[in-house]
Copies of this chain bind each other. A is one copy, B any other.
Amino acid sequence: MDDDRVARFRQERERLNEIVLTQGSLQTKRFFALDTKVYQDGALPARTKELLGLVGSLVLRCDDCVLYHLIRCRELELSSAEVTEALDVGLVIGGSITIPHLRRAHEAWQRLSTDEGTK
């Protein structure tokens, strides 16, 4: 992962979300709203919910979704040990077919940690 993959990811994500929400229907917008709501603090803290999102994304093998949840995990100050253990659960559930995604997840997390470590 080169230096600004995260920055480019955010920018591209925002650009495409704008297209979806312009072209999409009311139902599309409602789905997107719901997708935000379920990760907010409630009976479970947002930190836990982001880990749930991370594992769900890893076992379904979606790199963009994994990266998004890792960024959120970093923002919510989850530790590397916590993220690693969550990824381990995903690896065991989802099997070796998740390994290419696990590799990219660990690389992204290393990068995110380094960036933040220099703040």
Q: Which residues does A use to contact B, with CB under 8 Å?
A: 13, 16-17, 19-20, 23-25, 27-28, 30-32, 34-35, 37-39, 42-44, 48-49, 51-53, 55-57, 59-62, 64-65, 79-82, 84-100, 102-104, 106-107, 109-110
Contacts and interface: CB of A to CB of B under 8 A. Distances in A.
User: How many copies of this protein are present in the complex?
Assistant: 6
A40 to B, nearest CB: 10
A85 B43 contact: yes
Given A49-B89, A51-B48, A89-B38, A59 B61 contact: no
A16 B64 contact: no
B84 A91 contact: no
Give 4 closest A-B pairs by Cβ, nearest first.
A95-B95, A43-B81, A16-B103, A64-B100
